[in-house]
Amino acid sequence: MRLHSGLLFTLGLILVGCNYTNIKGSSEDMNQVFSLPADKMSELSYGVLAEKIFIPKCISCHGNAGNINFESYGEVVRNLALIKKTVFIEKTMPKKGSLSQEELSYLWNWINMGAPEQAQNGNSNPQPDPLIATYESINKHVFQVSCKDCHNPTGSGKRVPLDKESLLNSPLELIIPGNPDESGLVIDLERTDDKRMPPAKEGYSALSDEAKATIRKWIENGAKD
């Protein structure tokens, strides 16, 4: 019994030791791999990171009703260590996607600088472009963020394209202008069973109430613009 725990202890030390040098060693390498020019470093802020990474690459699953929510600065900051671990060490996130070298560099340096909310160069955060009840805005803020992983020409949802023409002419009656309650699109977004879109079983968050209300309003207004 004694020998056993002694052995485990030694084994533990070896493992901790290896881990430590690995993470430390790779951090230094990673500062090289992800180095950014000084002017880019000084523009890093929460707003820039949200626009470049958290909104397009994470909130389809880490939104409103998801696991961890990345829709606000406070929530991102609370999870920084886990973000670093899953993106850079375990490389398990983003699930079903990837970050470009530039995106990884922004994220790596922003976290290492202590995740500043404001940029060092004094630039204010980019003004978010609000979601409004037009196809163009809904496509940009909702379909391209939460649906495009599957609703694209080679994805699992390819038989249901989400361009305006296809939505308006779908045999599934996805849009009945003026009648959001009977429009298939609204029904699919608002239902709470396993047929909800985007699909919970694949890790996706339900759309926000704001997104659902805006799509309703667009259809209510005749789905014209």
Residue 12 CA neighbour count, 13 Å, CB half:
6
Exposed / middle / buried, residue 138 (Cβ in 10 Å: 0-12, 13-18, 19+): buried
For ligand HEC, the closer CB: 10 or 102:
102
Of positions 159, 169, 192, 209, contacts ligand HEC by CB under 6 A: 159
Q: What are the tokens at 90?
A: 């375990």
Per CB under 6 A, 175 contacts ligand HEC: no
Per CB under 6 A, 196 contacts ligand HEC: no
Exposed / middle / buried, residue 209 (Cβ in 10 Å: 0-12, 13-18, 19+): exposed
Question: How near is the Cβ of 71 to ligand HEC at its closest, in Å?
Answer: 12
For ligand HEC, the closer CB: 160 or 219:
160
Instruction: Say which amino acid occupies 167.
Output: L
Give CA torsion, residues 54, 55, 60, 61, to 10 deg: 20
Per CB under 6 A, 219 contacts ligand HEC: no
Instruction: Say which amino acid occupies 110.
Output: W
Residue 27 CA neighbour count, 13 Å, CB half:
11
Q: CA-to-CA distance for 223 and 221, rounded, in angstroms?
A: 6
Per CB under 6 A, 151 contacts ligand HEC: yes
Q: What are the tokens at 32?
A: 């090289």
Rg (CA), the chain: 22
Of positions 131, 176, 203, 217, contacts ligand HEC by CB under 6 A: 203
Q: What are the tokens at 31?
A: 């500062």
For ligand HEC, the closer CB: 95 or 217:
95
Q: Per CB under 6 A, which region of 29-37, 120-128, 202-210, 216-224 contacts ligand HEC?
A: 202-210
Question: How near is the Cβ of 201 to ligand HEC at its closest, in Å?
Answer: 9
Per CB under 6 A, 55 contacts ligand HEC: no
Q: CA-to-CA distance for 197 and 147, rounded, in angstroms?
A: 8
Q: How many CB atoms lie within 10 A of CB 137?
A: 16
Of positions 46, 94, 106, 196, contacts ligand HEC by CB under 6 A: 94
Of positions 6, 116, 128, 199, contacts ligand HEC by CB under 6 A: 199
Binding mask 10-49 for ligand HEC (x = CB under 6 A): ----------------------------------------
Interface residues with ligand HEC (CB under 6 A) are: 53, 57-58, 60-62, 67-68, 79, 82-83, 86-87, 93-97, 142, 146-147, 149-151, 156-157, 159-160, 162, 172, 174, 184-185, 188, 197-199, 202-204, 207
